[in-house]
Amino acid sequence: MRIGVLTSGGDCPGLNAVIRGAVLKGTAVHGQEFLGIRDGWRGLVEGDVHPLTRHDVRGLSKQGGTVLGTSRTNPFDGPHGGPENIRATMDRLGMDAVIAIGGEGTLAAAKRLTDAGLNIVGVPKTIDNDLDATDYSFGFDTAVEIATEAIDRLRTTGDSHRRCMVVEVMGRHVGWIALHSGMAAGAHAILMPEQPQSIDQIVKWVESANNRGRAPIVVVSEGFTLDTMETAHSEKGLDAFNRPRLGGIADVLAPIIEERTGIETRATVLGHIQRGGVPSAYDRVLATRLGMAAIDSAVAEQWGTMIALRGTELVHVPFQEALGGLKTVPQDRYDEAAILFG
Compare residues 200 and 336 and give the one whose CB is closer to a copy of itself.
336
Are 141 and 280 spatial neighbours (Cβ–Cβ below 8 Å)? Answer: yes
Binding piece for a copy of itself, criterion CB under 8 A, among 21-29, 45-53, 91-99, 197-205: 21-29
Size of residue set near a copy of itself by CB under 8 A: 83
Q: Whole-angstrom Cα distance, residue 247 to residue 188?
A: 23
CB 141 to a copy of itself: min, Å = 6
Compare residues 204 and 266 and give the one whose CB is closer to a copy of itself.
266
Q: Is 149 labeled as ligand-binding?
A: no
Binding piece for a copy of itself, criterion CB under 8 A, among 97-105, 115-123, 193-201, 282-290: 282-290
Compare residues 98 and 147 and give the one whose CB is closer to a copy of itself.
147
Residue 152 makes contact with a copy of itself by CB under 8 A: yes
Q: Is 14 labeled as ligand-binding?
A: no
Please report, as residue ranges, which positions from 162 to 201 form the binding site for a copy of itself (by CB under 8 A): 162, 165, 180-181, 183-186
Enumerate the active-site residues: 128
Q: What are the residues whose beta carbons fall under 8 Å from the beta carbon of 324, sequence distance 6 or more?
A: 132, 133
CB 70 to a copy of itself: min, Å = 5
Contact letters for a copy of itself, residues 241-280 (x by CB under 8 A): ----xxxx--xx-------------xxxxxxxx-xxxx-x
Q: What are the residues whose beta carbons fall under 8 Å from the beta carbon of 315, sequence distance 6 or more?
A: 307, 308, 309
Compare residues 79 and 244 and give the one whose CB is closer to a copy of itself.
244
User: Measured over all CA atoms, what is the biggest interatomic distance in the chain, rounded to whole angstroms?
Assistant: 70
Residue 336 makes contact with a copy of itself by CB under 8 A: yes
CA-based R_g, the chain, Å? 22
Contact letters for a copy of itself, residues 289-318 (x by CB under 8 A): x--x-----------------xxx------
Question: Any long-range contacts for 194-197 (C-beta under 8 Å, 24+ apart)?
Answer: 194/328, 194/329, 194/334, 195/329, 195/334, 196/224, 196/225, 196/226, 196/227, 196/228, 197/226, 197/227
For residue 4, the cross-strand partners are 35, 98
Q: Is 26 labeled as ligand-binding?
A: no
Query: Which residue from 150, 189, 192, 298 is in contact with a copy of itself, where contact means CB under 8 A?
Result: 150
Query: H-helix or E-strand containing 325?
Result: none
Binding piece for a copy of itself, criterion CB under 8 A, among 20-28, 81-89, 117-125, 226-234: 20-28
Backbone angles phi, psi at 274, to 5 degrees: -75, -15
Please report, as residue ranges, which positions from 97 to 136 form the binding site for a copy of itself (by CB under 8 A): 135-136
CB environment 193-219: b (16+ within 10 A), e (fewer): bbbbbbbebbbebbbebbeeebbbbbb
Q: What are the residues whose beta carbons fall under 8 Å from the beta carbon of 137, sequence distance 6 or more?
A: 124, 125, 126, 127, 129, 131, 309
Q: Which residues are annotated as a binding site for substrate?
A: 126-128, 163, 170-172, 222, 266, 272-275
Binding-site residues from annotation for Mg(2+) = 104
Residues making up the binding site for ATP: 10, 72-73, 103-106
